[in-house]
Amino acid sequence: MAEPAKTNENFEPRIVAFLCHWCTYTGADLAGTTRQQYPPNVRVVHLMCSGAIDVVYVLKALMDGADGVLIGGCHPGDCHYQSGNFKARRRVSILNKVLEQFGIPRDRVWLRWISASEGRKFAETIREITATVKDMGPAEFKEQWDV
Amino acid sequence: MKIGTLPNGGDAIKAANELFKGLLEKGIVEELMAPAVQPGGSCSLALFADAERLDPILPWAPVMPVQGGRALSKLAFTDPGVKTGVVLRPCEARASVELIKLKQIVPDNILFITVDCPGTCEVAAFKASGVDEVEGAKTLLSGKVPEGNNLRTACSICENPAAEVGEIRIHIFGGGDVAIEAEDEVATKLEEAEVVTFSGAGIAGRDEAVKALKAERVKARDELFAKFDDETGSLEKLKEAFSTCIRCYNCMENCPICYCKVCIFKSPTFEHTGDKYAAWAMRKGVQKLPTETMLFHMTRLNHMSSSCIGCGVCDTACPMGLPVATLFRKVAKGVQEMFEYQPGRSLDDDIPLSVFREDELQAESGSGK
Ligand code: SF4
Ligand code: SF4
Ligand code: FES
């Protein structure tokens, strides 16, 4: 059989990142000020805490244009509101079960703990997500007219 | 717990109704919510305050148009102020337990009476079959299904049909007797008022019968889930299966667990402006209306599947006959197993989305350490 055509080569994925104010958003800022290189595919939504995320916004993003979603929060134990990230972790765990039933690959949604001092980790994470999602191609829902 | 049998002469409905009459007459409760046959036929729930007017009560009504847990969250959203008995099926009792935890039911004045449940038929099919309500109930109690009817899908895969919560539990599984089990304090009250006596003996074969029924239902459930995955196991196929959803919200409106006063789907967040619809059509070339039907189901699954008690009222409420309950129960099973949570089992188990553990779900959430 012939090599499958690399249809995704020219595809530039769009990543929506929901970042908590106290850690990952500040980490993203640090990535910028320290001139870490990462792909420009990411659009940031600024939240006070990862615990403020509701999955409806994650799903809505995936249906309306995003190919991947990152939820970034403080490391476990470091949430400035004590437990927001633990609650986000429960919600994302449920979301993964729902995505599975709907035949949507898990790598569309990423939950990551990135602190204010981890500018390098933020850049690495964005590189990893962008590369993975680029390989996956456009999000399942977003081009379909009948959802 | 104390246990005894009710005098019944082979008639479970009569035995239970005698008990309810006793509860009201002796003032153990001042009002009683129970399934009832309406004068125009067809069953519903009703709230009885007059001990002389209990005739319509049909505890094993052959249909469940309204989920008792949901009904209770209306009449006991605030304390009714009078002692209120509620006759519930096991799924309705489980829904009530969840709703108490969700602060939608004030339980202080409620006396929960749960009955072993032989299952129910679909409302519309039952009506069309022309079977008399009381006869239908009797057929179900005898372990059969009324002519021209099927057991509802949700009932045919219900692994918890036995009365396992509630201060009073009425047993029918395992033999011709009708047994009553009650928490000690309630049992003492019932004995003092001479409503029932607790001999210490229940239905000899009940435990075995319940075990066998559970095993049968688990098998049916797993077969149904496997078939469902075969038929809807990809996004394309699932979309096809739900392509006639009109986003009428009936499934949600009737679900006992969906308790929000305003669902986000009915809020301004989803009241899109005209330019938004235009943008969808422009971007994709075509846009189905109503929009976001899949998003609605996925969101509801995320929000409430951890507490889905499998009553199947969503199936009954869906005007399009979509397999809503199968989808929801299937996802709920995975979610509930992940949290080792059994909704409706106990007031002491915390609702999964209300708590957390510090060291958990690294793999399930994909977050790593
Ligand atoms: S009741 Fe049926 S048609 Fe209405 S929103 Fe639910 S699944 Fe869709
Ligand atoms: S989702 Fe369906 S089966 Fe589950 S609790 Fe709600 S109405 Fe009952
Ligand atoms: S403040 Fe960062 S996760 Fe809560």
Question: What percentage of chain B carries pLDDT values higher than 90?
Answer: 96
> Is ligand 1 within 6 A of the CB of residue B317?
yes
State mean pLDDT over B99-104.
98
Q: How many CB atoms lie within 10 A of CB B363?
A: 10
pLDDT digits (tens, 9 = 90+) for B143-157: 999 999 999 999 999
β B178-182/B168-171 pair status: antiparallel
Each residue's pLDDT tens digit, B82-93: 999 999 999 999
Residue in B235, B283, B356 closest to A90 by CB: B356
Pick out chain A residues at pLDDT < 50: 1, 5
Token reading at A147: 């959802």
A111 in B contact zone (CB under 8 Å): yes
- Is residue A77 less than 8 Å (CB to CB) from chain B? yes
3-class DSSP state of B47: strand
**Furthest-apart CA atoms within chain B: distance in Å:** 75
- C-beta atoms of A55 and B302 within 8 A: yes
Question: Which residues of chain A make contact with B233, given a CB cutoff of 8 A?
Answer: 103
Beta strand residue intervals within chain B, DSSP E: 2-6, 31-37, 43-48, 84-88, 110-115, 168-171, 178-182
B295 Cβ closer than 6 Å to some ligand 1 atom: no
The sign of the dihedral angle between the CA atoms of B40, B41, B45, B51 is positive
Average pLDDT over chain B, rounded to whole?
96
Three-state secondary structure call for residue A129: helix
* Residue A56: closest C-alpha in chain B: B299
Cβ contacts of B268 on chain A, cutoff 8 Å: none
Tokens of B270: 């989803």
The separation between CA B198 and the C-alpha centre of its own chain, rounded to angstroms, equals 29
CATH numbers and ranges of domains, chain A: 15-136 (3.40.50.960)
For the segment B212-224, the average pLDDT, to the nearest whole number, is 98
Please give the pLDDT value at position A1. Answer: 45
A62 φ/ψ angles, rounded to the nearest 5 degrees = -65, -25
Q: Which residues contact B175 (CB under 8 A, 6 or more apart)?
A: B203, B204, B205, B206, B209
Q: Among all chains, which residue has been given the structure tokens 């939820």?
A: A71
Among all chains, which residue has been given the structure tokens 């919560």? Answer: B165
Interface pTM (ipTM) of the complex? 0.95
Q: Identify the residue with better confidence: A9 or B214.
A: B214
Q: What is the pLDDT of residue A7?
A: 59
Q: Which comes out higher in pLDDT, residue B37 or B40?
A: B37
Provide CB contacts within 8 A for B237, sequence distance 6+: B231
State chain A's maximal CA–CA distance in angstroms: 55
B364: nearest CA partner in chain A: A93
Per residue, the 3-state secondary structure of B344-359, as one string, reads: CCCCCCCCHHHCCCCC
